[in-house]
Structures are given as C-alpha cells and as structure tokens.
Amino acid sequence: MSNSPENVILGQPTVGEEELAAVAEVFRSGWLAGAGPACRRFEERFAAAVGTAHALATSNCGAALYLGLRVLDVRPGDEVVVADYTFPATGHAVLQAGATPVFADIRPDIFTADPAAVEAAITPRTVGILVVDTFGQPGDYDEYRVIADRHGLWLFEDAACAAGATYRTRPAGSLADLAAFSFHGRKGITAGEGGALVSDREDLIARARKLHTYGIEPAFNREGGDELPIPTFHEAGFNFRLSDVQAAIMNVQLDRLPDLLAARRSVAKRYSAAFTDLDGVEVPVELPDREHPWQAYAVLVASEIGRDRVATRLRARGIGCNFGTYASHLQPVYGEQPPLPVSADVFARQLALPMHANLTDAQVDRVVTAVREVVTELS
C-alpha cells in the first residue's frame, strides 16, 4: 500500500513544533550524547508517571529487557517462563542472556499470559516469569505475583506497549520487580526509537545504569568534585544509552500522553461500536479493572472468512492493516516447542487496524465502512 494522502495508514507518531523546539534546546546545550541532563530529567519524570522509584532510559526496549535479565542474574541453564503472544524481542532477550524461554499460552480474550499456563510451565530450572502487556493492556498481575512468590521467582513486566495503562488503578510499569518500555515509532509515546527500564529496586537500576554505559558510571554522573574522575571497569557492559536528543523528544511526548491516550481511546470506542454486530469479527476486550492504552486495535477474523483475504482487500482500498503479533513458540529460532493452541489460533486470525492519535473522524469512518464491506463480501 502506497503512502498517498488518501490512504489510512496503520500507525503514525504525533510530533510537531514542540518536539523540534526541545531538540533545538539540546543542540544549544552542546550535550547531544546519551545519559545527559535531558535523559536524567526524562528518567525522573517517567518514573513518576509509571509509579516507580527509578527509571533508566535505554536505546530501545530490547536493551531494557536484556539489561533487566542481566541484573536479575539470569544465566545459562536457567529457564524463564515467557508469555507466548508477543513480538519475539521478549524471547530473544532470554536467549541473549543465555537462558531458555519456556512459553506459556494466553487468555483468549485479552491475549496476555494465562496464569494457569504460567504455573504449568514452571520447572526446577525456572528462575523467573516474563509477562507481556499485550497491545498495552496489562495481564493478571495479582495472580502472577502469587505464582512467583509461591515458587520463589522474580516477575518481569514487558510493558513495551503499555505507557498510560493501568491495572486495578496501578500504572503499568509498577506491577512487577522490573518493567521494560518501548518508545518505537508505533508506540503511544515515541522518539522513533528508545526504551526504559523501571523498578522500585535501586540496586537493580544502579547496576543496569553501569552496564548500559560499558560498565562504568555515565559521564554526567561523574561531573563535579575536586578530583579528576577516572572510572574503573568491573564488568563488561554495553552502549545501550538513549541520546539526549531523543530524551528531549520524550519529555514533550510525556506532556502529550494524556491527550494521546484520549484520542486513541476515542478511536477504539468508535471501532468497537461499529464492529460489535459484524458477523465473523470479534472486537478486542478491555477489562473493567484495567485501562487500555490502545497501542493497537486488533480484531479476530473468523477462520472461514480468512484474515489474510480481509487484509489483502483492505490494503487494496488504501486501509493499512497487518497481523497482530507473533505466537513465539512457532518461530524457528526457538526450536521445537510444544503446541500452544490459543496463541496459535490468535496468531492466525488477528488483524490490526489503523490506530494512532492523528486519525480523523472521516478516516475512522472510512476504515469502518471498508471493514464492514469487505467482511460482508467474504462471508
């Protein structure tokens, strides 16, 4: 599908003059590199927004996931229970840490890890549970916590899509021992790329801060004092820092977050009202004890109609769409895995429709009309 003005694209960031002004301010400051004053300001503000004591800005969510596993001391031979229905960056982080992901099947309504499946996946080698806020809606964290505590495991929240979400009034990001966020261009707030690792545990974030800067304290932290600061390397680290240019953008995006969430929720409400009575399509569920940030709006298409046939026809009409996300256990990188029927079924039938804060009423109407016409034609 071409990116012509008459098309309705799947996702789009909301950025403008405010972000440009913030970047210009960073240019004038002379500190464009990572982990500088703009980053530190963003970290403080983001921690407050997600209800944690600490935040560390990272180059992307994959880096945040990997750093989190490293500071949790995940090692080769360990197993980590991982929610199956997710972009494979979640499982990749476990592999990169040297451990083995053991995938857990999902709830059929909100696509997050089924607590019963999580518990069934635990073995004597299991060291922790890595769950995913699918499309931003949190899973069953009270149940996950009971399971983790019963087995002496840590709990890690992949909140990549979940900025602004809540679970029983608690913000996404504050629901586990650690949480990782993404600021990729398709996310609710974005700098194009970027991520964050958040936690109430100062020890974990302090170690992650060193690891994300080659194994030493970032330069900004070392400024001041009467002696020349010469850092000492005790552990081999990485360059996983977010630049101050990106952090400046993220500070503006945080200001925008309430309006961006309201716009997405309005679109989701209109879609659900329009498709609830459409045979062959199941609309996504928002549970009453959670606030969904609607990073994506993904319907389930009946098998007899065919998700791929619907997608092809929608794209021909200029409507952006794509599959939802991955049933990770089906990806060859993870080798032979036991069947997870719910996740596999959702993977085969889910279709993401245009969802971003810039959608106009006319564009939403166009999507609704096209979906209804295509599904009716194929039924």
Distance CA(245)–CA(27), nearest Å, equals 8
Q: Maximum Cα–Cα distance for the chain, whole Å?
A: 76
Per-residue pLDDT, averaged over 231-248, amounts to 95
pLDDT tens digits, residue range 288-321?
Answer: 999 999 999 999 999 999 999 999 999 999 999 9
Q: Is position 187 annotated as part of the catalytic site?
A: yes
Residue 225's pLDDT is 62
pLDDT at 2 over 60: no
Percentage with pLDDT > 90 across the chain: 94
pLDDT tens digits, residue range 51-86?
Answer: 999 999 999 999 999 999 999 999 999 999 999 999
Single out the catalytic residue among 92, 187, 264, 356.
Answer: 187
Is 356 within 8 Å of 264 (Cβ atoms)? yes
Among 282, 269, 215, CA closest to 70: 215
The domains located in the chain, with CATH, are 17-254 (3.40.640.10), 257-378 (3.90.1150.10)
The sheet with strand 350-353 has its strands ordered as: 281-282, 297-301, 350-353, 322-323
pLDDT at 263 over 80: yes
pLDDT tens digits, residue range 161-199?
Answer: 999 999 999 999 999 999 999 999 999 999 999 999 999
Helix axes 307-316, 361-378, angle to 10 degrees: 130
Residue 212's pLDDT is 95
Token pair listed for 276? 């609830």
Greater confidence, 61 or 221? Answer: 61
